[in-house]
């Protein structure tokens, strides 16, 4: 049941931008009708990024116009792994190299000067800009490496015919109690919650809290969980923040409304 909810959470997450507004990277637009349940099997303890890839492959299989030539192809040269091609698809019989990304970012206006600069990982260890640069300069160019050509020849796909696209989905979180500018590049539908600093939590003394597992970061907040009172929650969250980790939490407001948020350590 949880896996199905995770899959629905993935499906319902919008693309981070529309068309090729960002870095001229063309987003793959999947039909919103492809919302069947997930009936595949997943390895135990599969990390979130790989879990999402399996969800993507499952969703692609529901579209009669798309066929998967290969997925998760390791490109190796003399036992050294150069990188991985996430997927090669045929969309209406035309080949597409697809890179799959699912991220969680928080908005920090103090970082950089542009709209794209301001989105960083909750732990401040990564950023949207770093990921876009890696895509543009490392992941997508791997298609043109001589070692990759051997795999393309094996599948009888001509390099000159391949278009490159990304499926870049994200959940975005904005600062608690701060007005934000309009976004011109980023899809504002990706904003699903806010983030709090530890000192902000004193304003939420009448709220209840739950800390989901990382796999369940994909989910909409669920009602039927063991909610924590503010005092118990603060006892649990304090050592996590002291270890410089920023957990996602679900928050239940006094009126029963559920929210998704990050508590950041910085």
pLDDT in tens, 157-208: 999 999 999 999 999 999 999 988 899 999 999 999 999 999 999 999 999 9
**Is the same domain home to 54 and 139?**
yes
User: What's the average model confidence in pLDDT over 209-218?
Assistant: 97
Its domain, for residue 235, covers: 193-264
**Is the same domain home to 165 and 86?**
yes
**Per the structure block, which two tokens stand in for 171?**
């959940």
The SS3 call for residue 135 is helix
pLDDT band for position 127 (cuts 50, 70, 90): very high
Domain boundary among 171, 191, 211: 191
Q: Per DSSP, what are the bridge partners of residue 164?
A: 97
DSSP helix, strand, coil percent of the chain (3-state; round to 5) = 30, 30, 40
What interhelical angle do 48-61 and 2-12 show, nearest 10? 80
**Is the same domain home to 125 and 253?**
no
The SS3 call for residue 4 is helix
pLDDT of residue 1: 61
Domain boundary among 144, 170, 191: 191
**Is the same domain home to 60 and 177?**
yes
**Is the same domain home to 165 and 55?**
yes
**Is the same domain home to 142 and 205?**
no
- Beta-carbon contacts of residue 114 (< 8 Å; ≥ 6 apart): none
The count of domains in the chain is 2
pTM: 0.96
pLDDT, tens digit (0-9, with 9 covering 90-100), for 30-86: 876 656 789 888 998 899 999 999 999 999 999 999 999 999 999 999 889 999 999
* H/E segment holding residue 173: strand 163-175
**Is the same domain home to 46 and 173?**
yes
- Provide the pairing of β-strand 163-175 with 119-120: unpaired
**Is the same domain home to 117 and 142?**
yes
* Terminal-to-terminal C-alpha distance of the chain: 35
pLDDT at 253 over 80: yes
**Is the same domain home to 111 and 28?**
yes
Domain boundary among 191, 215, 233: 191
- Provide the pairing of β-strand 208-210 with 191-197: unpaired
**Is the same domain home to 103 and 222?**
no
**Is the same domain home to 79 and 181?**
yes
**Is the same domain home to 14 and 77?**
yes
């Amino acid at each position: 049941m949880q896996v199905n909810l995770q899959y629905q959470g993935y499906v319902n997450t919008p693309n981070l931008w529309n068309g090729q507004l960002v870095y001229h990277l063309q987003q793959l637009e999947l039909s919103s009708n492809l919302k069947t349940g997930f009936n595949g099997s997943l390895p135990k303890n599969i990390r979130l990024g790989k879990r999402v890839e399996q969800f993507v492959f499952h969703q692609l299989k529901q579209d009669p116009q798309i066929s998967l030539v290969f997925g998760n192809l390791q490109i190796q040269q003399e036992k050294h792994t150069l990188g991985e091609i996430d997927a090669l698809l045929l969309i209406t019989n035309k080949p597409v190299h697809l890179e799959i990304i699912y991220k969680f970012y928080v908005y920090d206006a103090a970082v950089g000067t542009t709209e794209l600069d301001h989105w960083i990982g909750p732990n401040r260890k990564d950023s949207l800009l770093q990921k876009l640069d890696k895509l543009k300069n490392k992941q997508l160019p791997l298609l043109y490496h001589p070692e990759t050509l051997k795999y393309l020849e094996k599948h009888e796909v001509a390099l000159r015919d391949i278009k490159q696209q990304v499926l870049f989905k994200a959940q975005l979180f904005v600062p608690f109690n701060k007005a934000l500018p309009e976004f011109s590049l980023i899809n504002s539908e990706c904003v699903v919650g806010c983030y709090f600093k530890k000192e902000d939590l004193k304003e939420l003394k009448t709220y209840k809290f739950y800390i989901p597992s990382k796999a369940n970061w994909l989910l909409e907040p669920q009602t039927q969980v063991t909610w924590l009172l503010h005092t118990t929650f603060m006892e649990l969250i304090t050592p996590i923040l002291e270890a410089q980790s920023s957990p996602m939490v679900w928050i239940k407001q006094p009126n029963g409304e559920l929210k998704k948020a990050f508590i950041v350590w910085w």
